[in-house]
Amino acid sequence: MMMYASHLECSVCSTTYDLDQVIGTCRCGEPLLTRYRLDAVRRDLSPADFVHRPNTMFRYRELLPLSERSSPVSLGEGMTPLLKADRLAQALGMQAGKLWIKDEGLNPTGSFKARGAALGITRLRELQVKKAILPTAGNAGGAWAAYGSRGGVGIVVIVPQRAPDVNKGEAELAGAETYVVDGLISDAGKIADKLAQENGWFNVSTLKEPFRLEGKKTMGLEIAEQLNWRLPDVVVYPAGGGVGLIAMWKAFQELRELGWVTGDLPRMVAVQATGCAPIVRAWQEGRSESQHWDNAETIASGLCVPKPKGDKLMLQALRESRGTAVAVSDDEIRAAHRTAGRLEGMIICPEGAAAVAGLEKLVQSAWIKPDDEVVVLNTGTGLKYPHLFNLDLKQLR
Ligand SMILES: *Cc1c(COP(=O)(O)O)cnc(C)c1O
Ligand SMILES: [Zn+2]
């Protein structure tokens, strides 16, 4: 029974913690990162070994905090298609064959949040945690509810009144105790913190526990495997809490250390909405930390995070990868949403549409060159956003 994960390490003060303890954040309050004995992974495993593995994200179990004895709580998440988008590439003036969209909308519960919840619940079950709580205004609640029910871990979800009905409904339908509160996601977060403290429930808010990030890391591992252990020049990601961006960057660094990929790592791009762009502002001002974004508002609800807990890690990933951050307006998001449907037949989520709009801006400004190979993340299915459908139908008489 070998676990290749060795310990948890604070992302800021480097204090280390045992993996077998139930712990959320460092005692300094900052996020914890899972560290591995990569030399042992390199010795025991090679990329060819993955070919015959199950077609889910758990195929990468040596690069997750799991042992051979772990039994994953799975609904078939991961190994989502990496689709070539030649018609979109052509419309943007990019070279054919160089643009890919990774379609996370095919995950259980319709978004990549399934990856974080699948690993999170697998670990919580192993650690014998009985109940967990999270605030959410979007896809996280439904994902944690689904995996919680499947794994036998109780889930409490706190949702702001203004969150879409589909997100309240999916959490409730998948068996979570679902509470609606007045106010914003930050208010839901405070209530979740308080209830977690009072009741001894584990708090699985974004980056207040280490496993969601490791689950999302599998997006980066899959991109490498699906490109036959090659990495693209640029990865474009719609960043809210930023977990996916931080996680993919961690994946790429681990793959480089393993020697499974060579050459430059991708330049990471964080796309945000002009109505809530704390990372873009911090990036432009050269800061290593963001400042709270007042009156945040955008149709891309997953990007509406006024002060991400992972801001320092996100900005660090942008710096280290020689990436950038760019903001797009809701009108640009709407236009990209339509473009993806019309050119590629993909009903993408507004966050994915933001990423496509960001790509367009960076191609126009020549930050992305026509022959750069680019992977854009569509983080969820557009079918969960019927409130954004703008039906423009002709009447047949
Ligand atoms: C949560 C969410 C995001 C933002 O994810 P982070 O990794 O926290 O930045 C983007 N798109 C969708 C569809 C989401 O549900
Ligand atoms: Zn610390």
Q: How far is the CA of 329 from the centre of ligand 1 (A)?
A: 17
Ligand 1: does its nearest atom lie under 6 Å from the Cβ of 170? no
The two three-digit tokens of residue 64, written as one number? 């997750």
Ligand 1: does its nearest atom lie under 6 Å from the Cβ of 375? no
Given a cut of 70, whether residue 388 has pLDDT beyond it is yes
pLDDT in tens, 258-299: 999 999 999 999 999 999 999 999 999 999 999 999 999 999
Mutation probe of ligand 1 site: the residue of 298, 376, 379 with most atoms within 8 A of C-beta = 379
**What pLDDT, on the 0 to 100 scale, is given for residue 200?**
97
Distance CA 187, CA 1 (A): 43
- Ligand closest to 29 (CA) is 2
Contacts of 371 (CB under 8 A, 6+ apart): 95, 98
Ligand 1 atom with least separation from CA of 104: 13
Enter the pTM of the model.
0.97
**Residue with CA at minimum distance from ligand 1 atom 4:** 240
**What pLDDT, on the 0 to 100 scale, is given for residue 183?**
87
**What pLDDT, on the 0 to 100 scale, is given for residue 392?**
80
- Ligand closest to 27 (CA) is 2
**What pLDDT, on the 0 to 100 scale, is given for residue 246?**
98
- Ligand closest to 13 (CA) is 2
- Ligand closest to 26 (CA) is 2
- Domains delineated in the chain: 82-110+210-388 (3.40.50.1100)
Cα dist from 54 to 61, 66, 75, 118, whole Å: 11, 15, 12, 15
**What pLDDT, on the 0 to 100 scale, is given for residue 393?**
87
Given a cut of 80, whether residue 2 has pLDDT beyond it is no
- Ligand closest to 301 (CA) is 1
Q: How far is the CA of 82 from the centre of ligand 1 (A)?
A: 18
Ligand 1: does its nearest atom lie under 6 Å from the Cβ of 306? no
Compute the average pLDDT of residues 193-203: 98
Mutation probe of ligand 1 site: the residue of 139, 170, 216 with most atoms within 8 A of C-beta = 139
Ligand 1: does its nearest atom lie under 6 Å from the Cβ of 113? yes
Distance CA 208, CA 124 (A): 14
Mutation probe of ligand 1 site: the residue of 80, 111, 299 with most atoms within 8 A of C-beta = 111
**What pLDDT, on the 0 to 100 scale, is given for residue 391?**
81
**What pLDDT, on the 0 to 100 scale, is given for residue 130?**
98
Ligand 1 atom with least separation from CA of 350: 13
pLDDT in tens, 52-94: 999 999 999 999 999 888 999 999 999 999 999 999 999 999 9
Given a cut of 80, whether residue 168 has pLDDT beyond it is yes
Given a cut of 70, whether residue 1 has pLDDT beyond it is no
Ligand 1 atom with least separation from CA of 242: 9
Distance CA 268, CA 324 (A): 7
Average pLDDT of the chain is 96
**Residue with CA at minimum distance from ligand 1 atom 5:** 240
Q: How far is the CA of 164 from the centre of ligand 2 (A)?
A: 35
Q: How far is the CA of 302 from the centre of ligand 1 (A)?
A: 5
Compute the average pLDDT of residues 390-396: 85
Ligand 1 atom with least separation from CA of 352: 11
Cβ 128 vs Cβ 151: under 8 Å:
no
In terms of phi and psi (left: phi > 0; alpha: psi -120 to 50; beta: otherwise), the region of 270 is: beta
Compute the average pLDDT of residues 355-374: 97
Ligand 1: does its nearest atom lie under 6 Å from the Cβ of 244? yes
Ligand 1 atom with least separation from CA of 349: 13
φ, ψ for residue 237, nearest 5 deg: -130, 135
Q: How far is the CA of 276 from the centre of ligand 1 (A)?
A: 13
**What pLDDT, on the 0 to 100 scale, is given for residue 156?**
98
Distance CA 352, CA 337 (A): 8
- Ligand closest to 384 (CA) is 1
Q: How far is the CA of 97 from the centre of ligand 2 (A)?
A: 43
Ligand 1: does its nearest atom lie under 6 Å from the Cβ of 278? no
What pLDDT band is residue 390 in, cutting at 50, 70 and 90? confident
Contacts of 354 (CB under 8 A, 6+ apart): 238, 271, 272, 273, 300, 303, 328, 332, 333, 336
**What pLDDT, on the 0 to 100 scale, is given for residue 68?**
83
Ligand 1: does its nearest atom lie under 6 Å from the Cβ of 215? no
**What pLDDT, on the 0 to 100 scale, is given for residue 67?**
84
Return the beta strands (E) in 191-307 as ranges.
202-203, 234-238, 267-273
